[in-house]
Structure 1
Amino acid sequence: MSLSVVICTRNSASTIKDCLDSLMPAYRSSLIREIIIVDAQSTDATCHIAGDYPVRIYFEPGKGVYFGYQYALGIASGEYVLFLDSDAYLDNTSLTSVLNTFTDPEIGLVGVYSFSPDKSRLGRCAGQWWDYHRMRLLAHSSSSLFGRLYHRVVGFGAVYTSGPCFIASRQCLEATGGFAPELYLYYLHPKLAYPGDIMLSKRAVNAGYKAVWANCGRVGHYPPANALELWRQRVNWGRGDAAYLKICRTGFTKRATCVLSRLGSPFMALYLAFRYCNPVHLWYLPLAQLAWLGGYFNFRLKR
């Protein structure tokens, strides 16, 4: 099995070293054939730092992450392609185990769960939130009540993979058009870096492939460093979800479930605060979901 790695960057100097360092063991063992970086006009030292590693660096005119992904797909030569965020890094993830998942020819995409290496108050909240969902998804099948509800709220009914690290087979990417259908997201909003991964998963499932999560490790992913960054991130996610629902022409039930689940965030925040003995959840999750609602309704009203 040959694996290409694609990383899109933009002013990622503070995280790209950790990202690339984590790939070097697999690269030196020849499990990773090539590492492709597509940079979107960084003005910091991103490319200078990346240049110290065995990578190929290309440049794109700042038209969004999906433009970078699609451009890289035309260059990558691997049988499988790993898409990794520039602020994420492989930790105890076994790439060999993840790739072995593809021995099932019906599997087209495999997502890898993330954890937060940030031990700050906000970092712990993000990590506990991610860990809660990971444990619930591992404990329940996609067809369980929790699984169906989770995928209806987050994936709008589709079983999907997303996040800072996922691997796709080239066969699946070619069958679904790669990220070409997502290129117009940039024109809907220049900072719309989501939900192309969910849309790809849905197309893969519709094409007869499976989109699954790997249970053989996790990737470190740095969450927003402060409340303002959290707000901006979730506003963007709200816009992305609104775009997805608009594009897919989803019915009222799915849209209502999506919104109502966010309005119930104070109850989930209370549960998480007790579960993890972390009172910061009492404002962290409601703030994140309020920002999501703001982005969601602002995008829908403007379009």
Structure 2
Amino acid sequence: MTVDRSAPPPHDPAESTSLLPPLRRRRRIRRRRVFAGALGLTVLLLLATVVLVEVYTDAGFSPDGTTPAGTADTEVPRAVREGGPVIDLTGGGEVRTYGMPAKTIALTFDDGPDPRWTPKILDVLARHHAPATFFVVGSQVARHPDLTARIAREGHELGGHTFTHPDLAGLSEWRRELENSQTQLAIAHATGRATRLMRPPYSSFADALTDKDWQTVRAVGGQGYLTVLDTMDSEDWKRPGADAIVRNLTPEGDTGQIVLLHDAGGDRSQTVAALDRLIPQLQKRGYRFSTVSAAIGGRINPPAAGDAVWRGRALVRTVRVADAVLAALWILLITAGALIVISTLILFAFAWRHSRHRRGPDWSWGLPVTSPVTVVVPAYNEEKTIGPAVRSLAVSAHPGVEVLVVDDGSTDGTADAVRDLRLGNVRVVRIPNGGKAGALNAGVALSLHDLVVMVDADTVVEPDAIHRLVQPIADPRVGAVAGNVKVGNRRGLIGRWQHIEYVIGFNLDRRLYDTFGCIPTIPGALGAFRREALTGSGGLSTDTLAEDTDLTFAIHRAGWRVVYEESARAYTEAPATVRQLWRQRYRWSYSTMQSMWKHRRAVLDRGASGRFGRRGLLFIALFSVLLPLLAPLVDLMAIYGLLFLDREVTVIGWLAMLVVQVLTAVLAFRLDHEALRPLWSLPLQQIVYRQVMYVVLLHSALSALTGRRLEWQTIHRTGDLSSAPVPGR
């Protein structure tokens, strides 16, 4: 046992091969950190902007006529109540109204264009040579500019019906201006023309205007538009049947009329059928059909200003991008949901099968393994935890256990704490600080036996854990064994949540990976190895920060089986604070991606390496990287649904996912013979803890994509292993 006083200070293995001067290297790391943070913030802001644009432009609205506007009408001028349906306030304080000439019908359609119903209506109008006026919703124009262009090209008139179909009376002045001006821009982009006509949503007849309606009419007139109301309402939004619609729109005398129909907002098949009957009937009675502007002697859709066209183009492209992104998010959500359902079904089926198979009367790894074992414990400043860990290993029920503690240049009393135990089967070796992988390699080189078990210095094992852990090595194909690691400090919420996560991860995920022969990680807290498998796969590497995952991949590629032994239990100290948890999971997520990238060429290899690459890496990428990255969409779209969609359906969907999580947790706890009491905190875990893990994974992915080299994250230890068995009892 020696102490090397000339040992270099602790360093980051990931930076050990860098040829850049230290200062320049640090500057590069800082730049990459800033870039990763800026990229992440930019992505989040863009997504937020896209969602806001989509929410704003989503024209999911109630049909006109379904929202009462109130009753008071003391402010409405008598000339307006008794005047025509077209109101002109563009001349300042003067009020002018216009009606339709006798025997003249202006067919008007609200809420479109709609890609399904507007073309059918246009076909009917073309068949009967009847022009009409379409009061379009700007967001729909932005989504269907070609259809809007067809309306204008076939001789019909376009009027505005706001951009998102809100009740204008409830909006501020700038919002009213925005609604109408954006509609103008959308029309300009689609047709190159403008409109002077505006029909406020939820408007009614002139003699039914209320004070609230009059405020809207005045605001529209102040913006330079003619307000177009109607004199006959088809009530097609009620879908009363084609016969009723025809009756509602059939004038009794020869008075001209502006009739209200809809070409969007729901099933308009009755409107199409009624229109095909109404037009020829009225034409036989001598009625002619006209646009609103033509009937009152105005100009139909004059050319738009030049800047309106390119500004409209920018607006339309923004809406299209928002639509595309949200559609992609829905596709990803469906993908995530499908992966969650598939993975859950696979987990249930294979985990249950795995458990029953292992418990069967005929199950055996082979002859009992009683060969001596060297337990390598790497330690760096583990004075608080090393004592209980070493004591639990020294009293192991397996015969011939040698405990080798490799003190990796600790600056505290780690080595003294081990010596003070005065255990005969425990050795301490001090080496210059070189990182965990170097300490483990040194321990393997100095071990006396061919069976090597690796245990972290903050881990306590059950008395029979080592014996149970090495039993699978009776199978000559097995090169490594993963133990069942549990959380030792479960008293707080964070510890309890990690306990749930560990039980589910080890007793379902690991059983599944075991079944498919692609366990991704032999946990550093408890894992057994053949020396032959260790040396044949190159030992532990410093190329990545995940020496355990990197080693496991290498053992797979060397042709060895890696299995899971659930009866070998160890208890480790999990992070006790959010900050410590963040640092640990950040390193885990980053290093897993790092290891997958390092071994990416395995997918092209032949033999065992190729089989693992094409099956194992794909499986791990799908369920350990892609699914966790997509999982946040479930919660994000749930929030979106609560705010902007059907809340009842959204809540039911989210609760269904929670039920799946609860059933999964119950199965995992039953398979592991754990009490179900901690599961009371599972719903809260889904709301709080899971979101933290989402951000950690996203942060790790951004770091990996930007090429940032992650430094080693040291976790503060408290020595709290209150849920672990007491060694020696």
Task: Give TM class, smaller chain.
Answer: 0.7 to 0.9
| Gap change, CA 1:169 and 1:86, over 3 Å in 2 | same
| 8 Å Cα contact 2:510-2:519 kept in structure 1 | no
> Which of the residues 276, 291, 295 maps onto 2:696?
291
| Gap change, CA 1:201 and 1:139, over 3 Å in 2 | closer
| 8 Å Cα contact 1:15-1:87 kept in structure 2 | yes
Matched residues, number: 279
Deviation at 1:141, TM superposition (A): 7.0
> Quick check: 1:166 aligned with 2:527?
yes
- The structure whose residues are more often strand, as a share, is 1
Q: Could you tell me which residue of structure 2 aligns to residue 261 of structure 1?
A: 628
| More divergent stretch after superposition (52-61 vs 253-262) | 253-262
1:28-67 to 2 correspondences below 5 Å: 30-32=399-401, 34-53=402-421, 54=423, 55-67=426-438
> Could you tell me how far apart the structure 2 residues matched to 1:210 and 1:287 are?
34
Letter of the aligned partner of 1:175 in structure 2? G
1:1-303 to 2 correspondences below 5 Å: 1-26=371-396, 30-32=399-401, 34-53=402-421, 54=423, 55-91=426-462, 93-118=464-489, 119-137=491-509, 140=512, 142-143=514-515, 158-163=518-523, 164-179=525-540, 182-185=541-544, 192=545, 194=546, 196-249=547-600, 258-264=625-631, 270=658, 272=661, 276-278=679-681, 279-281=683-685, 282-303=687-708
| 8 Å Cα contact 2:628-2:694 kept in structure 1 | no
Deviation at 1:18, TM superposition (A): 1.4
Deviation at 1:256, TM superposition (A): 7.1
| 8 Å Cα contact 2:485-2:570 kept in structure 1 | yes
Deviation at 1:166, TM superposition (A): 0.1
Letter of the aligned partner of 1:177 in structure 2? G
> Could you tell me how far apart the structure 2 residues matched to 1:140 and 1:300 are?
29
> Could you tell me how far apart the structure 2 residues matched to 1:93 and 1:2 are?
14
| 8 Å Cα contact 2:486-2:570 kept in structure 1 | yes
| 8 Å Cα contact 2:519-2:562 kept in structure 1 | yes
| More divergent stretch after superposition (73-82 vs 126-135) | 126-135
| 8 Å Cα contact 1:93-1:219 kept in structure 2 | no
Write out per-residue CA displacement over residues 7-34 of structure 1, whole angstroms, 9 at most, x where no aligned residue: 111121221111011112128x7430x2
Deviation at 1:299, TM superposition (A): 3.5
| 8 Å Cα contact 2:469-2:527 kept in structure 1 | no
Letter of the aligned partner of 1:183 in structure 2? T
The percentage of aligned residue pairs carrying the same residue is 20
| 8 Å Cα contact 1:161-1:213 kept in structure 2 | no
User: SS state of the match for residue 483, structure 2?
Assistant: strand
> Could you tell me how far apart the structure 2 residues matched to 1:121 and 1:273 are?
17
What TM-score, normalized by structure 1, do the two folds share?
Answer: 0.81
Letter of the aligned partner of 1:58 in structure 2? V
What TM-score, normalized by structure 2, do the two folds share?
Answer: 0.36
> Could you tell me how far apart the structure 1 residues matched to 2:588 and 2:690 are?
14
Write out per-residue CA displacement over residues 42-87 of structure 1, whole angstroms, 9 at most, x where no aligned residue: 2222222112234322233332111111111111111100100111
Please tell me whether Structure 1 or Structure 2 has the larger radius of gyration of its CA atoms.
Answer: 2
> Could you tell me how far apart the structure 1 residues matched to 2:413 and 2:556 are?
39
| 8 Å Cα contact 2:556-2:562 kept in structure 1 | yes
> Could you tell me how far apart the structure 2 residues matched to 1:177 and 1:142 are?
23
Structure possessing the higher relative contact order (Cα contacts under 8 Å, 6 or more residues apart): 1
| 8 Å Cα contact 1:110-1:161 kept in structure 2 | no
| More divergent stretch after superposition (270-279 vs 94-103) | 270-279
User: SS state of the match for residue 211, structure 1?
Assistant: strand
Letter of the aligned partner of 2:680 in structure 1? C
| 8 Å Cα contact 2:482-2:563 kept in structure 1 | yes
Letter of the aligned partner of 2:400 in structure 1? L
- Uncovered stretches (5+) of structure 2, i.e. residues with no partner: 1-370, 604-616, 636-653, 666-678, 709-729
Deviation at 1:5, TM superposition (A): 0.8
Letter of the aligned partner of 1:285 in structure 2? R
Write out per-residue CA displacement over residues 235-292 of structure 1, whole angstroms, 9 at most, x where no aligned residue: 1112212321321237897757614423415669946578522144121122123213
Deviation at 1:40, TM superposition (A): 2.5
Aligned-residue Cα RMSD (Å) equals 2.8
Deviation at 1:93, TM superposition (A): 4.2
Letter of the aligned partner of 1:232 in structure 2? R
> Could you tell me how far apart the structure 1 residues matched to 2:588 and 2:468 are?
31
> Could you tell me how far apart the structure 1 residues matched to 2:621 and 2:533 are?
28
| More divergent stretch after superposition (164-173 vs 91-100) | 91-100
